[in-house]
Structure formats: structure tokens, C-alpha cells
Amino acid sequence: RTALAPRDTAARRKGKARRGRGKARNEGLLSKQKRSRRMKANDRERNRMHHLNSALDALRSVLPTFPDDAKLTKIETLRFAHNYIWALTQS
């Protein structure tokens, strides 16, 4: 190896050490960020479920059910829709 090789590896190690997260932030700030991230994730999940439930309600409204007042569960709605589409393609 050349004489420059040890310096190159030392420079690489220094670069890698700088890339880490480090402990520059205090615990209060970290817990605040975790709480904020969790709240945002909860909001995203809540919105996702609202959209999913709205889509399932729209699907239920176009499926023929007997009797009309019985609300199908999510899995029942999907299975019934699958079978209904299959039956329509067979006819």
C-alpha cells in the first residue's frame, strides 16, 4: 500500500462518525418529536379508515341485499361484491 492509505481510512472513519444522529438533541425535544410523529401517524390512519369505510358504504349501496336493512360487514361486503361480479360475468 501507499503512504496515503492510512490517512484515507482515517478520513473515511471521520466521515462515517459525522453521519450518525448524535446526541445533540435533549430528551424533552425527542419525546416531543415522538409524540408529534405518533399524532400524525394516528391522523393518517384515522383518515385512511374513514376513506375505506366510505368506499365500503358506497359499495354496499350498489349491491343487492336481502333484506335491505341488514348491514354487511367489511369482509361480507367484499365477498358478496366478488361473487356478484362473478355472477354478472357468467350471465
CATH of the domain at 65: 4.10.280.10
**Is 71 inside any structural domain?**
yes
**Distance (Å, rounded) from C-alpha 68 to C-alpha 57?**
13
**Distance (Å, rounded) from C-alpha 12 to C-alpha 16?**
6
3-state DSSP call for residue 68? Answer: coil
All three cell numbers of 48, joined, read 385512511
Q: How many domains does the chain have?
A: 1
* pLDDT on residue 24: 56
CA-closest candidate to residue 65, choices 86, 82, 81, 88: 81
- pLDDT of residue 87 exceeding 80, the answer is yes
Threshold 0.75, pTM exceeds? no
* pLDDT on residue 65: 81
**Is 19 inside any structural domain?**
no
What is the per-residue pLDDT across 20-78, written as a single tens digit (0 to 9) for each? 555 556 888 889 999 999 999 999 999 999 999 999 999 999 998 877 778 899 999 99
* pLDDT on residue 69: 74
